[in-house]
Structure 1
Amino acid sequence: MFAALVILCSLSTYAQDSDNQEFWFVAPDASFSHNDRPTFFMITTGDTPASVTISMPANKSFKKITKNIPANSYWKYSFSNDAEISLIENDINSSGIPTQKGFYITSSAPVSAYYQIDGDRNYQKEIFTLKGKKALGTEFYMPFQKAYPISDRDEYNNEQFRQIQIVATKNGTNVVISPKSDQALFKAADGAINSKSPLESRTITLNEGETLLWRENARHTPDLIGTKITSTDKEKPIAVTLFEDCVQDGKDGSVDPIGDQLVPTHNLGKNYIVVKGYSSGNATDHAVILAVATGKTDVWIRSENNDEKKIATLSQGEYWSEDLGKGGDSPGAFYISTSQPVYCMHQSASGSELGGAILPSLYSISGKRITFMKGNKNTTVNSMFLVFRESAKDGFTIDNKRLTVDAKSIGFGDWRYAKVNLTNTTDTLQVCAVANTKGSFSLGYFNGASSTSLYGYFSAFGTFSFASDTIYHCGTSHEFDAPYALSYKWTLPDNTTSDKSVLTATKSGKYTLYVDQDPYKLTDETILCLQNFNHKFYAPSKLLVGKSYNFSIQLNPENDPYNKFNATYEWDFGEGAKVTTDIKKKWVNVYYETAGPKKVALKVTNTNAHCDTTITHEFKVLDTPEVMYWKTDAENQNWNDENNWTDAQGNDLFAVPSAQTKVYLPGPANDARNYPSLNRETDRYFYGDPEVNEIVFG
């Protein structure tokens, strides 16, 4: 049985983490006869716990659900029975008709997410990596693959088609489909549409969370590649899912789905590295290059030891399908470059079991740590594809152990790639974390068995942006690791500049970065807060048995505006302590029932920068003396001043009376100047109201 894939992503500062707290998605309608269930969402956290909510804003039948996910963990939310699948899949019979199938996933912290078709009877499986805000836009072109047809087998009961699935994020969103030709027929509510259909027939208005399917009117409809989908209002972005159901590698060959969530045209690039998979038999690897820009787009391809050659010149909406050969044949990877941004869709296979994925462009690569769950021993192919630069080749680790990779040249600058086989000799899934301390990388995961395959890239897509408007970091310095780009210009808080890709910041303040990510010239800024645990800790040096004290801490006593953060507190007062207030607060009231040396420990966690420290304090708890004396030369009238009390011999006690203490106040009873004042002069912040068993005057 094929193993489900679990991915846990923790991306670097430049992995667009802030873009991964909101996700819109619409699930395609996979063939029931080819086993479309179960399906599930997999949502995973990095170093920060997250509260995640899954909802369908336009569908009241779906009950919103929220889950608190610990750090470095995951939540698998499944759909399995007829009612659940019917509720979430956007049915093939609804083509051209608004439906209410849109998912909206929100998180309190950056997470990664994907949707998986996990059919376990006929092994129909595919993953759709959710791209967060990078999936949202107003212009998309459809990069369907060309090499393999949709199966015509009768056993699939006319349920298998190429699909374009759309979800709106705002009310009143006008979605327009623009077929390439009059042959490109899409099923509509009352017939079919093509390029000659009037605009009003090709425009559907959706509200928030509503969805729209356009599917081919009949299998093998020509000219679907390059179909354009737009939202007419730039303030009303949409998300689009591409799906090809029951794709067959030959007349009687293997059958599998191919699909992914797309990114809009403004998040595409001009440079791609395609690492070949494990195709064999009837199947070979293919890359579909789809032009989206006006004018002409030239396409070149090269590989190690092979000169670059021009393979196509494309107009907007035109494509080129390049056969890359079988997975085991040389070369093992190709570099594809274009004169203008394009989609690059890679189709590969495990043997002849097909899978496909949208590739991230080189200048969107920014992840430095990706954790995933690899398949069990029953998996035929269990592999990851890594793309990185030469400087990062020796920085890989897996499960905190050094990972040596066979870094191969692609024939383009210092870019490298590696295919890494992941071994698992057990019947269970295993979590492993891949990281790189020397540079960013992209990771494609390919998992296949004798009857299906899964393929997807768990990497950043789109163009550069800082992780958030504010970056919190514990320490005296922070290393910014810029995204891959042709050139850089940093502007520091003191207005000095740097052209380095890596910048070590030693001051808090505003940092601005300009990058040339061909063809995009981008500028973004962030506020860096270098933070520490400077504090004042309030605790007694001595305390009487039974006398309570308000232990407390003041963080950031200098009131540094960059050192302000949200904190949590965990107190440990040791043996004999009785806590009378909430132990999770920064102010805690405690008394002790036993005498002796004591130690209090306070763990403070900076929840913004995700770091912590433990502060300790040692003091003594004294048995309550029979009598305590007020000093005749007390410097103030504060009853709760530890320096104002002595024993019968005049020795300083450095403690204040408890409710069991007898005290002597010297001097005549009618002379208040000799006595403590119980009004404003007595500080009640630490010890509360004065306590005493008996007072003797004179």
Structure 2
Amino acid sequence: MKKNILFLSLFLLSFALKAQVDTQFWFAIPDVVSIAQGHTDRPIFLRIITTQPATVNVSIPSNPLFTPFIANLPANTVRGFELTASIDLVENRPFGQVNNKGFLITSTTPVSVYYDVRGIGDPAINQGFALNPEIFSLKGSKGLGKQFYIPSQTSFANAVSEARESIDIVASEDNTTVTFNLTAQAQGSPEYQANQDYIITLNRGQTFALKSTTGNSSFSFRGSSVSANKPIAVTISDDSIDRGGSWDLIGDQLLAAEKWGKEYIVIRNLTGVGQDRVYIVAAEDNTNVMSNGNLSTMNRRQQLDIIDMSTTPTVYITSDKPICVMHLTGHIGFNNGIESASSILPPLSCGGATSLSFTRNTPDDFNMYVLVKDIAKGGFTINGNATLLTASDFTTIGASGWSFANKSFSIAQLPFAVNADGSHTIANSIGNFHVGMLSAFRNAANNIVGSNYAYFSNVEQINTNLGANQAICQGQSITLDAGPNMSLYVWTRNGVAIGGNTQTISVNTSGTYKVDVTQGTCTASSQMVLTVNPIPTPSITTVFNPTYCTSDASFLLVGTPAGGSFTINGVSATTFNPPVLGVGSYTIVYSLTQNNCTNTRTINNIQVNNCIVKQLFIPDLFSPNQDGKNDKFLVEGEPIADFQIKIFTRFGNIVYESNSFDEASTVGWDGNFKGQPQPAGVYMWQISGRNVSYKNKTSGNLSLIR
């Protein structure tokens, strides 16, 4: 029998609280056993706590048969919505299948929401008191996420066959794909086996219940994984665990793994060996966990059990990667059994309340666990009274900087609210604090028969994310943004301070950039690596003339280093082809990219003209015999630019060469080479130049006759 309605109006912070205070909550109600011995699952309530006026809507979006509750609530109000009459519509069963039973609670202003299983026995057999109570603290947006890992007690069996450990899942969006991998078998048709991936699809408000097949504690769901492609919420419960003859329901709504922390404190209630226990689950491999100076290294989905707190009043836990911590405690009950209670603990490094309201829901034992920084332990008041919780009530926890108090309060100090509508206020004028509350329920014989335990504290986190590593090019810069609304920004590059107390900085130098941000008591950090790559230096190795004719031949475009690409007037090209390009002015660009950095080289204003083709007359033969007729080989026609002529023997030897049209057309070749007459025969000529045409030939044969 666990935490009941012990706490009912909540805290005010300078920034939004997301552990229990929010404007939207998703919740899957677990199935709880109800047996003839009076160990029941009813009555059940959703309880809403306001700090300001609110319009609240309680609905099951996937089930039109459920009539929503809508209420306008004044400030500082506790309102219970009883669900007992609809218990078959709301408890998440049958198991191993999709159900339409997910609750959505919305509010126009931030509120707190708790699910309360009273578990009151049968008055007809003198059991008109809470035998199987439980309270589930809804986490709002902190309870929504895409990855969950399950903590679980591993020492105590379920007392009756109907009572089992369960995982209850609710989807917040349509077409949500959920993957679960369990560490123990779960009920279904067929059963869900351990260490296998199973995939289901849920729509908005639909639920899925995973209930273990055995009550043997050796087959718990510890370390099981539940993930989704869209946000889901997950409830855990373990029904009627048997500790020395006392049976109790324990459970809570989980924090999503992405909302876990790295610093926790557990405060012991029971002093006997093995009576208080701690369960720690890791989200990542190679997670180093320190618990009171003892180092443990855990991998993803592993659970560390601390099974004895009898020698220490607290356990101070830190880690280098996020972890989840669950605390199992309770009260000594009838025949020295333990009336169990458990809670998911809040991470300490961020958040906490400066003021909160609560309700004492039991006339019996009522304890507060209070955690506060040493410097603030003297700043408490309860209902304005500074004597109810003083600095002397606190004990320093080693070198952690934290102090704790575990203090009980009498009815005279904190009156009991029979209808759970009376409130008290605890506040601290110096700093933030975290509060857990542990309550007991007694029967007519004054035996404790039920136990409640819950933390009511802000588990808010701040986040900063500089994003993935980036590479830019020399001369470029990027802006790093650490996010808005922080009170302090500290920037470093390679460990050296840069910039100022600003949300953004512009950077253009390679290095590891880190930002540490602070908001209130919350801190966060992020880092990224920036690589600045050099700009490449391409060149165009093809030699261009300033002008070409549409009749000119094409040629390859070549650039260095290789690997780039050419464009001609913006069109991709590998050759310069005047006949295809046509008349116009052309810009040739060679573009080269290396390490995602691009540079170009450009040649502008290459002209292609529609040139008039000039005709040349080349004789077929000549006879250098000094008779005054055809004594020389002469080229006739209009002068052309870039003229060159060569005459070869049939063996390829040059016997005449000229780069002057005037010389070739007036002096020509006289048939000699180096003063020696060349023999009669067939020779080959070759002419090149701009706008050359000789019957569409640029070479031919020549006969020398003697």
Question: Scaled by the length of structure 2, what TM-score is found?
Answer: 0.61
For the Cα contact (< 8 Å) 1:168–1:206, is it kept in 2?
yes
Deviation for aligned residue 1:421:
1.4
Q: 1:86 corresponds to which residue?
A: 88
For the Cα contact (< 8 Å) 1:382–1:421, is it kept in 2?
yes
In 2, distance between residues paired with 1:400 and 1:51?
29
For the Cα contact (< 8 Å) 2:175–2:201, is it kept in 1?
yes
Q: Given the alignment, which residue of 340, 343, 351 partners 2:324?
A: 343
In 1, distance between residues paired with 2:102 and 2:271?
34
SS at the partner of 1:237?
A: strand
SS at the partner of 1:167?
A: strand
Q: 1:398 corresponds to which residue?
A: 382
**Offset from partner CA, 1:418-471 (integer Å, 9 cap, x none):** 1121211466445211011111111101101300101111112241379xxxxx
For the Cα contact (< 8 Å) 1:124–1:452, is it kept in 2?
yes
SS at the partner of 1:419?
A: strand
Q: Which runs of 5+ in 2 are unaligned?
A: 122-129, 333-337, 442-447, 465-485, 492-498, 504-515, 528-706
Deviation for aligned residue 1:496:
7.5
In 2, distance between residues paired with 1:331 and 1:51?
46
Tell me if 1:170 matches 2:156: no
- For residues 213-228 of structure 1, what are the structure 2 equivalents within 5 Å? 213-220=209-216, 222=219, 224-228=221-225
In 1, distance between residues paired with 2:71 and 2:410?
32
- For residues 244-643 of structure 1, what are the structure 2 equivalents within 5 Å? 244-250=238-244, 253-278=245-270, 284-293=275-284, 295-302=285-292, 308-310=293-295, 312-326=296-310, 331-351=312-332, 352-377=338-363, 379=364, 381-402=365-386, 403-405=389-391, 406-425=393-412, 428-429=417-418, 430-449=422-441, 450-464=448-462, 488-489=488-489, 497=501, 514=518, 520-521=524-525
SS at the partner of 2:297?
A: strand
In 1, distance between residues paired with 2:277 and 2:117?
23
For the Cα contact (< 8 Å) 1:374–1:422, is it kept in 2?
no
Q: Percent identity?
A: 30
For the Cα contact (< 8 Å) 2:18–2:142, is it kept in 1?
no
For the Cα contact (< 8 Å) 1:279–1:350, is it kept in 2?
no
Deviation for aligned residue 1:517:
8.7
Q: 2:6 corresponds to which residue?
A: 5
Deviation for aligned residue 1:190:
2.6
Q: Given the alignment, which residue of 1, 15, 23 partners 1:21?
A: 23
In 2, distance between residues paired with 1:214 and 1:67?
33
Tell me if 1:132 matches 2:140: yes
For the Cα contact (< 8 Å) 1:15–1:367, is it kept in 2?
no
Q: 1:74 corresponds to which residue?
A: 78
In 1, distance between residues paired with 2:367 and 2:428?
17
For the Cα contact (< 8 Å) 1:131–1:261, is it kept in 2?
yes
For the Cα contact (< 8 Å) 2:152–2:220, is it kept in 1?
no
**Offset from partner CA, 1:522-542 (integer Å, 9 cap, x none):** 79xxxxxxxxxxxxxxxxxxx
Deviation for aligned residue 1:516:
11
Compared with structure 1, are the counterparts of its residues 17 and 339 closer, same or farther at alpha carbon in structure 2 (3 Å cutoff)? closer
Compared with structure 1, are the counterparts of its residues 21 and 266 closer, same or farther at alpha carbon in structure 2 (3 Å cutoff)? same
Compared with structure 1, are the counterparts of its residues 375 and 336 closer, same or farther at alpha carbon in structure 2 (3 Å cutoff)? same
Tell me if 1:212 matches 2:208: yes
Q: Given the alignment, which residue of 46, 58, 61 partners 2:65?
A: 61
Letter in 2 for 1:318: Q
Letter in 1 for 2:69: I
In 2, distance between residues paired with 1:342 and 1:129?
19
In 2, distance between residues paired with 1:108 and 1:120?
33
In 1, distance between residues paired with 2:108 and 2:141?
15
For the Cα contact (< 8 Å) 1:138–1:230, is it kept in 2?
yes
In 2, distance between residues paired with 1:263 and 1:21?
17
- For residues 37-48 of structure 1, what are the structure 2 equivalents within 5 Å? 37-46=42-51, 48=52
In 2, distance between residues paired with 1:389 and 1:15?
21
Q: Given the alignment, which residue of 216, 226, 229 partners 1:229?
A: 226
Deviation for aligned residue 1:519:
8.9
SS at the partner of 2:439?
A: strand
In 2, distance between residues paired with 1:178 and 1:80?
33
For the Cα contact (< 8 Å) 1:28–1:89, is it kept in 2?
yes
In 2, distance between residues paired with 1:15 and 1:418?
26
For the Cα contact (< 8 Å) 2:153–2:220, is it kept in 1?
no
Q: Which runs of 5+ in 1 are unaligned?
A: 303-307, 467-484, 500-511, 524-698
For the Cα contact (< 8 Å) 1:515–1:521, is it kept in 2?
no
Compared with structure 1, are the counterparts of its residues 66 and 513 closer, same or farther at alpha carbon in structure 2 (3 Å cutoff)? farther
Letter in 2 for 1:299: V
Deviation for aligned residue 1:101:
0.8
For the Cα contact (< 8 Å) 1:355–1:453, is it kept in 2?
yes
Letter in 1 for 2:410: T
In 2, distance between residues paired with 1:149 and 1:9?
35
Letter in 2 for 1:120: I
**Offset from partner CA, 1:359-400 (integer Å, 9 cap, x none):** 0011233211111111443x1x20111111012111111012
Compared with structure 1, are the counterparts of its residues 515 and 365 closer, same or farther at alpha carbon in structure 2 (3 Å cutoff)? closer
Deviation for aligned residue 1:191:
3.1
**Offset from partner CA, 1:575-601 (integer Å, 9 cap, x none):** xxxxxxxxxxxxxxxxxxxxxxxxxxx
Q: Given the alignment, which residue of 49, 56, 66 partners 2:53?
A: 49
- For residues 77-156 of structure 1, what are the structure 2 equivalents within 5 Å? 77-81=81-85, 84-91=86-93, 94-121=94-121, 123-151=131-159, 153=160
In 2, distance between residues paired with 1:16 and 1:3?
22
In 1, distance between residues paired with 2:521 and 2:190?
46
In 2, distance between residues paired with 1:59 and 1:346?
35
For the Cα contact (< 8 Å) 1:52–1:105, is it kept in 2?
yes
Greater Rg by CA: 2
Deviation for aligned residue 1:514:
4.3
Letter in 1 for 2:254: L
Tell me if 1:240 matches 2:234: yes
Deviation for aligned residue 1:407:
1.6
In 2, distance between residues paired with 1:57 and 1:314?
40
**Offset from partner CA, 1:288-340 (integer Å, 9 cap, x none):** 011111x21122221xxxxx222x221111111102334xxx53211011221
Q: 1:541 corresponds to which residue?
A: none
RMSD (CA atoms): 2.9
Q: 1:610 corresponds to which residue?
A: none
In 1, distance between residues paired with 2:236 and 2:261?
19
For the Cα contact (< 8 Å) 2:366–2:409, is it kept in 1?
yes
In 1, distance between residues paired with 2:136 and 2:306?
23
In 2, distance between residues paired with 1:186 and 1:462?
33
Q: 2:695 corresponds to which residue?
A: none
In 2, distance between residues paired with 1:28 and 1:522?
38
Letter in 1 for 2:181: S
SS at the partner of 1:367?
A: coil
For the Cα contact (< 8 Å) 1:340–1:519, is it kept in 2?
no
Letter in 1 for 2:288: D
**Offset from partner CA, 1:100-122 (integer Å, 9 cap, x none):** 11000001111111111101116
SS at the partner of 1:134?
A: helix
Letter in 2 for 1:292: A
Compared with structure 1, are the counterparts of its residues 462 and 349 closer, same or farther at alpha carbon in structure 2 (3 Å cutoff)? same
